[in-house]
Amino acid sequence: MYGAPKELQTLIEIHHKRYEHTHYPHGLSKEIKDAVLKRLEDYGGTKQRLSQLLDEEQQRELEQELEEERQKEFPPPVEPCEPILHEEITRLCDTHSDIMDLR
């Protein structure tokens, strides 16, 4: 198995550990963190899920990979081809030609 082992944990345990290991660039206010954890405590239940907590180096690598995935490459611009019409079709479409005079 690759990476850290997975273990059964409740939602509150999973998110509590992630808050401990996550460093937000602008900081996460304690009130928001506490409110989220309180909500999970109230409504998260006791059902357990498989969880895998990455260490700091793995987390940085994962964030870098996600950032690279977000940067999309667009194909280079192309010039359209000149349309090629058969001479008879061009004559047929010419409204001033004798072929279009239906009188």
Local confidence band at 1 (pLDDT 50, 70, 90 cut-offs): very low
Answer positive or negative: Cα dihedral of 86, 90, 93, 98: negative
User: What dihedral angle (degrees, nearest 10) is formed by the CA atoms of 56, 60, 65, 71?
Assistant: 150
AA letter at 102: L
Phi, psi dihedral angles at 3 (to 5 degrees): 75, -165
User: What is the pLDDT, as a whole number, of residue 17?
Assistant: 72
Average pLDDT, the chain: 72
Q: 38: which DSSP letter? A: H
Domains in the chain: boundaries: 7-70
Averaged over 79-91, what is the pLDDT?
A: 86
pTM of the full predicted structure? 0.33
Tens of pLDDT, residue by residue over 22-74, are 655 555 677 777 788 788 778 777 777 666 655 566 667 767 776 766 667 78
Interval 2-24: pLDDT, tens: 555 667 777 777 777 777 666 55
Could you give the CA distance from residue 6 to residue 9 in angstroms, rounded to a whole number? 9
